[in-house]
Amino acid sequence: MSQKLLLNSKEIHLTLHRLACQLIENHGDFSNTVLIGIQPRGVFLAERIAKVLKETYQIKNIQLGQLDITFYRDDFRRRDEPLKANQTNIHCIVENKNVVFIDDVLYSGRSINASLSAIQSFGRPNNIELMVLIDRRFSRHLPIQPTYRGRQVDVINEEKVVVNWHENNDEDAVYIITKN
Amino acid sequence: MSQLSTQHLLGIKHLKEEDINLIFETADQFKEVINRPIKKVPSLRDITIANLFFENSTRTKLSFELAEKRLSADVINFSASQSSVKKGETLIDTVNNILSMKVDIVVMRHPNVGAADFLSKHVDARIVNAGDGTHEHPTQALLDSYSIREKLGSVKGKKVVIVGDILHSRVALSNIYALKLQGAEVKVCGPTSLIPKYITELGVGVETNLRKALEWCDVANMLRVQNERMEVKYFPTTREYAQLFGINKDLLNSLSKEIVIMHPGPINRGVEITSDVADSKQSIILNQVENGVAIRMAVIYLLAQQIKRN
């Protein structure tokens, strides 16, 4: 197994600020916006983006939620290892809100497809956008594309993109891992 | 651990502590789901479930049916009083006929002890025991423990007394297994005629004085006297039973600490519990009913997870 560093801590820091600025361009004071981290790994990115918006750009009243899609997945009972459900925390109705889904890696698009079904249980949003840190080009199974992307990469199916955060792995870094 | 160690839910006796933890963690997520504006998830949209009730039930049947529908499963209901069972059909024949309609999971209540276990050995479907005679009622025990965990933080180390007709109660036996497995201390309390002779072999204490039992416990689970299962008289009168083993507000207020009151329903108000106790803030009876749906969703979801589709 070999691994290649795709983004280091400094590059992630810069990318987070760029993504935050792009959000501000489209969402102004965020009064009608809800940021939703997709469980489990999108939650870390969502929290970081919210932190940058609050601390660097003084955006107040950011509405941040966490959405678990386990019960909406189209591969239920088709996986070798069953998935364990995570917590959903959405404390507001998303009716007529601008929703931004936030996830770490966009691969097949199936998780986002499940997220689009799941969010409807909380109302009918005005629109939904998608932010990802890493967009794996040419690997989509569904017609889903990100609105905001940190970095686009071309990675073959046998390779894996792993995003580490200080919160769970003691470092901010993105690696491409190849199984030999 | 992300899947159950068992293919069927026949009784708590067959479960491990990790199974119970997994069911509770999954139920936590389903409890959030059933409090959303849209209380439904699509997980089981290609699963068909048959609810076979060979014995009367209101709460359990509705709870299972609602849980199944909240998971988007297709549901067929069957009750023995309107079926070919009356015409002499055997249990295996009845169930196999239903399974030919491509049913994946069977939820069954039956008056005979071991009926669910018997069925699991003879038919090709996942079986959930919704009560077999005086033997086990596993989902009731799971929701009772889940409600204790929700109210008191955990089950481990808590003192629970089960009061009433222990002899005829499947709720009592399943509760004893579940509570002991999770590290609770358990006592049973009731007239000696309604306490099984060898109950202490399950590691539970016996108390025949209700006040002493209540002073000892953190949680009192009040059971109904099951007159329909009694062929002889086990106590002189209902009035005497209520005086000795019924809980009322005066008794509750006279205790040195605040205890949690539970009841699996249906309640006989004025017999095992008075209305002011059943409706008091110490009672978590209605929470038990709400938790029942979340627990049954978790059990069915986790069993369905093992049915592979290609």
pLDDT tens string, chain B, 310 residues long: the values are 788 999 999 999 999 999 999 999 999 999 999 998 889 999 999 999 999 999 888 889 999 999 999 999 999 998 876 666 667 778 888 888 888 888 999 999 999 999 999 999 988 899 999 999 999 999 999 999 999 999 999 999 999 999 999 999 999 999 999 999 999 999 999 999 999 989 999 999 999 999 999 999 999 999 998 877 777 788 888 899 999 999 999 999 999 999 999 999 889 999 999 999 999 999 999 999 999 999 999 999 999 998 876 5
Using a CB–CB cut-off of 8 Å, the residues of A that contact B are 68, 70-73, 76-78, 81-88, 93, 117-118, 120-123
Same structural domain, B168 and B281: yes
What value does the mean pLDDT take over residues A9-37? 95
| Chain A residues with CB-CB distance to B38 below 8 A | 120-122
- For residues A57 and A21, give the distance between their C-alpha atoms in angstroms, rounded to a whole number: 9
Beta strands at A2-7 and A127-136: parallel, antiparallel or unpaired: unpaired
Same structural domain, B221 and B208: yes
**Structure-token match 């605040």, residue found:** B258
End-to-end CA distance of chain B, in Å? 23
Q: What percent of chain A has pLDDT over 70?
A: 100
**Structure-token match 């423990």, residue found:** B145
Find out whether B22 and B2 touch, Cβ atoms under 8 Å.
yes
Out of A71, A83, A123, name the one closest to residue B41 (CB). A71
- Give the CATH number of the domain where residue A31 resides: 3.40.50.2020
Contact A87 B32 (CB under 8 A): yes
The two three-digit tokens of residue B217, written as one number: 């416990």
Same structural domain, B148 and B280: yes
The confidence band for A93, taking pLDDT boundaries of 50, 70 and 90, is: confident
- For residues A81 and A77, give the distance between their C-alpha atoms in angstroms, rounded to a whole number: 9
Let me know if residue A78 belongs to a domain.
no
Domain housing A152 = 2-70+88-178
Domain count, chain B: 2
Domain housing B155 = 138-288
The confidence band for A82, taking pLDDT boundaries of 50, 70 and 90, is: confident
Let me know if residue B3 belongs to a domain.
no
Domain count, chain A: 1
SS3 A172: coil
pLDDT of residue B84: 62
Please tell me the number of Cα atoms within 13 Å of B166 on its side-chain side: 29
Same structural domain, B250 and B278: yes
Phi, psi of B24 (to 5 degrees): -65, -45
User: Which ipTM was obtained for this model?
Assistant: 0.80
H or E segment and range at residue A136: strand A127-136
- Residue closest to B222 by CA, chosen among B192, B242, B197: B242
Would an 8 Å CB–CB cutoff place B33 in contact with chain A?
Answer: yes
Let me know if residue B5 belongs to a domain.
no
The distance from CA A92 to its chain's CA centroid, rounded to whole angstroms, is 19
Same structural domain, B247 and B157: yes
